[in-house]
Amino acid sequence: MKSKRTRIDFASPPQPIGVIRNVALLLVALVSFILISPPIANANASGTLSVERASHVAGLHVFQVNGRKYGISTAIHVISFYTTQYSIAIGLAHDKVDGGLQTPSSMCQRTPDCVAAVNADFFDLTPTGSPDPGDEVGGIIENCVLLHSPEISHQQANLDGHSVTNSLHWSSSLSINGTVVPIAAINQELPMSYRGVHLPLAGTLLFTSPYALTTPSAPGRTTYEFTQVDATTSPTTINTTVDLEFVTETTMPVAVAPGAIDISAPPGSALASLQVGNTVTLNTTSTGGCDDIGGHPILLDQSVAPPIVQADTYMTKPYARTVIGWTAAGDTVLMTVDGKDTTSGATAAQLVRVLRSLDVVTALDLDGGNSTTMYEGGRILNKPSKGFEHPVSTALLVIANS
């Protein structure tokens, strides 16, 4: 909606006192707005940014961008903040890994000091009639704890470092009487099979209490339960070593008890030699920073737009989109583009053009399509593809720092 311009002619004859007073008040209000309101967004050198609607909430900027010049006919919503008043946190459906699905708005509403949210990483859905774990595709590090290892090679965003990588670099292993046993996955549902991904039940798998499902079972596999000797840190805190005490074992699928660490191992594992009360050492490392989430693909990396594979029709055709990015000045930018699969929305090339107009230099595409959601101010700002907010596995939450 265009705002009307008020023309003030100082050469006009004297006006009635009431009119003069109103004009004076208007001038004071305009000057005050200019002095105390931070900029919503700055147009780049070519002046391509077109802001349609904007509001300010104590350093949080919420606005719409006209995408017509980029070939986008649907609504583009943006949330940005540039001060230390806000930070990004990862929301998990029902506060669990593989905890099912939940809307971004409800994740925000149950999180103290959350003021806004968007959907985050892609997730796997099981067939109709089966339990729906909403299994995340990429890696998740939250508060320096590795909660979920990536299922496949998947692009990641380091939320604290304002950087993107082509995969999450992590490793975890057990030391058992001098034998090192590598951990193949952490809190990851296996076996897994969906389009383009077929992961067998293999290797040594580690599960912690944030995992919502039961441990996998198969002929010959055994689940070993441990407790942490010193529970001052989470067992999979990155770049730390913790001692675990062996408690019991089972060949049945079991839910991970609060405070327990369950390790599912194949036949012939070194864990079979353990006696109750024995200790092992768990070592977990990562260069992903303390808060890391997955997405696909990288749209900008230090101002460079990596080439998009033409066979990746999800990126070459228009879809509804959700993006996280950062400007060179360190502003965090969350953006959604409304749309309908392959019919309307934005392609990767169009996303890059819009992001550059917002001075974004680093950005990762998140889950889109039906999942695309932006919540702020107690309402959904965008128009989800199916007409309602879609439950998802993870969200990015904007938290007001105390």
pLDDT the model gives residue 200: 86
Judge whether 187 and 211 are in contact, CB under 8 Å: yes
For the chain, the domains span 51-165+290-400, 170-286
pLDDT, residue 129, reads 59
What average pLDDT does the structure give for the chain? Answer: 87
**Model pLDDT, residue 189:** 82
Query: What integer pLDDT is reported at residue 135 of this predicted model?
Result: 87
Counting as low any pLDDT under 70, the low residues of the chain are: 1-57, 126-132, 194
The predicted pLDDT at position 66 comes to: 96
Give long-range contacts, CB 8 A cutoff, 24+ apart: 106-111: 107/395, 107/397, 108/375, 108/395, 108/397, 111/397, 111/399
Residue 228, strand partner residues: 244
- Identify the three-state secondary structure at position 120: coil
Please give the C-alpha separations between residue 337 and each of 43, 103, 117, 127, 393, in angstroms, as whole numbers. 19, 18, 15, 28, 20
**Whole-number pLDDT of residue 197:** 74
In which residue are the tokens 């708005």 written? 105
> What is the reported pLDDT for 26?
42
Domain 170-286 coded CATH 1.20.120: no
The reported pLDDT for the residue numbered 55 is: 59
DSSP string computed for 139-180: -EEETTEEEE--SSS-EEEETTTTEEESS--EEEEEEETTEE
First to last CA, the chain: 35
Please give the pLDDT value at position 30: 41
Query: What pLDDT is stored for residue 152 in this prediction?
Result: 87
* Angstrom distance (rounded) from CA 261 to CA 236: 10
What is the model's pLDDT at position 27? 41
